[in-house]
Amino acid sequence: MIFIVTALDCEARPLIQHYKLRRCQQFKPFPLYTGDDIRLVVSGIGAVNAMLATAMMAGINAGQSVVPHYVKPDLHLSPNSSVIAKPRHSIIPHSIIPGTQSPELAWLNIGIGGHYQYDIGSAFLAHKVSNAAVIKSPVMKSTVTDSTVIGESATIDPHTIAKVNTYYPIWGGKWPCSTENILTVPSVVSDYPTQGICEMEGTGFCEAAYRFSTAELVHLLKVVSDNKMQSIDSLNKTSIAALIEKQMPLISMVVESLQQTANALNDLAAMPNDYEFLVGHYPVSVSMQFQLKQLLRRWQLLAEHSILEIVPPEKYQSIKRWMKVATEQVALLRVSF
């Protein structure tokens, strides 16, 4: 199963048509579409909306509805909204324990973004996703010509790129296309940074998806829609849909690859290599057992030899210390971009 999140309906339309997805009328406040091993949700603009919609799909997979339990009366959830009130409490429900769903799920955020100089229509997977602080400018609000307000213009402050909420997606093999740093901003930028694609949902999507899956199964694909030569003001629903439609061959390849990776992880899900030895060697709490399984599955997916050859348990007195070193070794297996 793969879950896809888009911000706009016009971004979702080519996917809905290609995969012949059907609308599920009973799920609100976010439009949800389903098909064979695919679910797609239209979140609306902004990181909070993306986080809520992603959490909702995780809840549906776990057999329960998530969003109604956490929506505050003052939290605006319109899919066309650009300014979202920040909830005072976590929007990820405590009733869902991350990782308890089965089988493993793949997550993909697809949408448009702006870059300083990349060609319009070029597509990139994310190798890093982070928040970028912005400075509001007095420029008038930018709009898409179908009257969907995107947000106020702003300028990124290069000295205040957030160091928190940073994510590093992992591709289990050679990347199928070029990759780029994704900068999540709260509003449209008028002065593009020289590096990074600017968009508005990435970190919110990752914040939720990473709680329910692993870095190998959480990815973002962004299509460049505007740059310093062609501003976002020229976009409309038709042109946005056309940009996504043009990249459907790549999107199909990414979706298929993620589904294959999820299947491979599911094959390892019952009992990854070396798990029984480690829980016999160390006292391991229930919560640590889940983390240990995730770590061993990741190693088994990326490496052909046993992790015990690299991180021998006899050198470490506790499972916590062993896992810290093992996690560092797993990070070294990441394919360079």
pLDDT tens for residues 155-180?
Answer: 544 444 444 579 999 998 889 999 99
Enumerate the β-bridge partners of residue 199: 184
Residue spans of beta strands (DSSP E) within the chain: 2-6, 22-24, 32-35, 38-42, 106-114, 123-136, 142-143, 149-151, 154-161, 179-184, 189-191, 197-199, 218-226
pLDDT greater than 90 at residue 258: yes
For residue 12, list its beta bridge partners. none
Question: Tokens 């199964």 appear where?
Answer: 217
- The pTM (predicted TM-score) of the whole model is 0.68
Which of the four pLDDT bands, split at 50, 70 and 90, describes residue 289?
A: confident
Cα–Cα distance measured from residue 137 to residue 141, given in angstroms and rounded to the nearest whole number: 10
As a 3-state breakdown, the chain gives helix, strand, coil percent values, each rounded to 5, of: 35, 20, 45
Please report, as a single letter, which amino acid is at residue 242: A
* Contact between residue 169 and residue 152 where contact means Cβ atoms under 8 Å apart: no
Nearest 5°: phi and psi at 2? -125, 135
The residues of the chain that CATH labels 3.40.50.1580 are 2-264
Give the pLDDT confidence score for residue 103 in this predicted structure.
Answer: 64
Res 232 pLDDT > 80: yes
Which residues have CB under 8 Å from 335's CB, separation 6+? 170, 171, 172, 173, 174, 175
The pLDDT score that the predictor gives to residue 265 is 75
pLDDT in tens, 51-90: 999 999 888 876 644 443 333 333 333 333 333 333 333 3
pLDDT at residue 201 greater than cutoff 70: yes
The residue with greater pLDDT, 268 or 49, is: 49
Q: Exposure pattern of 95-117 as b/e (b: 16+ CB <10 Å)?
A: ebeebebeebbbbbbbbbbbbee
Query: What single-letter DSSP state applies at residue 230?
Result: S
At residue 126's C-alpha, the angle toward residues 120 and 132, to 5°, is 85
CA nearest neighbour of 178 among 163, 192, 197: 197
Per-residue pLDDT, averaged over 297-304, amounts to 84
Query: Per-residue confidence at 334, pLDDT binned at 50, 70, 90?
Result: low
Q: CA–CA separation, 59 vs 267, rounded Å? A: 23
Measured between alpha carbons, how far is 55 from 208 in angstroms, rounded to an integer?
A: 6
Q: What is the pLDDT of residue 109?
A: 99
pLDDT interval class at 104 (50, 70, 90): confident
User: CA Rg, the chain, in Å?
Assistant: 20
pLDDT of residue 100: 42
Phi/psi at 318 (5° precision): -135, 155
Phi, psi of 88 (to 5 degrees): -80, -15
| Selection from 209, 205, 208 nearest residue 222 by Cα | 205
Average pLDDT taken over every residue of the chain: 80
Helices (H) and strands (E) in the chain, counts: 8, 13
For the chain, the residue count is 337
Q: Which of 14-18, 21-25, 111-115, 158-162 has the lowest mean pLDDT?
A: 158-162
Instruction: Compute the average pLDDT of residues 27-41.
Output: 90
Q: Looking at residue 269, what is its pLDDT?
A: 62
Which pLDDT belongs to residue 238? 97
Compute how many other C-beta atoms are within 10 angstroms of the C-beta atom of residue 215: 20
| 160-191 b/e (C-beta count within 10 Å ≥ 16 → b) | ebeeeeebebbbbeeeeeebbbbbbbbbbbbe
**Domain 2-264 CATH (choose: 3.40.50.1580, 3.90.850.10, 3.30.870.10, 3.20.20.210):** 3.40.50.1580
Looking at residue 190, what is its pLDDT? 77
pLDDT at 152: 41
Q: Which of 216, 121, 139, 137 is closest to 178 using CA atoms?
A: 121
The burial class, CB within 10 Å (0-12 / 13-18 / 19+), for 80 is middle
Give pLDDT, residue 127. 96
